[in-house]
Amino acid sequence: MAEFYVEINAQGNGEHVVHISECSLLPSKETLQYLGSISNTKSAVKKAAELLRKQAGGCSHCTPAYQTF
Ligand SMILES: [Zn+2]
pLDDT digit string, tens, across residues 15-40: 999 999 999 999 999 999 999 999 99
Distance 13 CA to ligand 1 centre (A): 17
Distance 55 CA to ligand 1 centre (A): 16
* Residues ≥6 apart with Cβ < 8 Å to 20: 2, 3, 4, 5, 41, 62, 63
Print the domain residue range for 33.
2-66
Distance 59 CA to ligand 1 centre (A): 4
- The total of structural domains in the chain comes to 1
Residue type, 41: T
**Chain-wide mean pLDDT for the chain?**
95
Distance 10 CA to ligand 1 centre (A): 14
Q: What is the pTM of this model?
A: 0.93
pLDDT category, 50, cuts 50, 70, 90?
very high
**Model pLDDT, residue 69:** 59
* Residues ≥6 apart with Cβ < 8 Å to 53: none
Are the beta carbons of 57 and 67 closer than 8 angstroms?
yes
Distance 5 CA to ligand 1 centre (A): 9
* Residues ≥6 apart with Cβ < 8 Å to 50: none
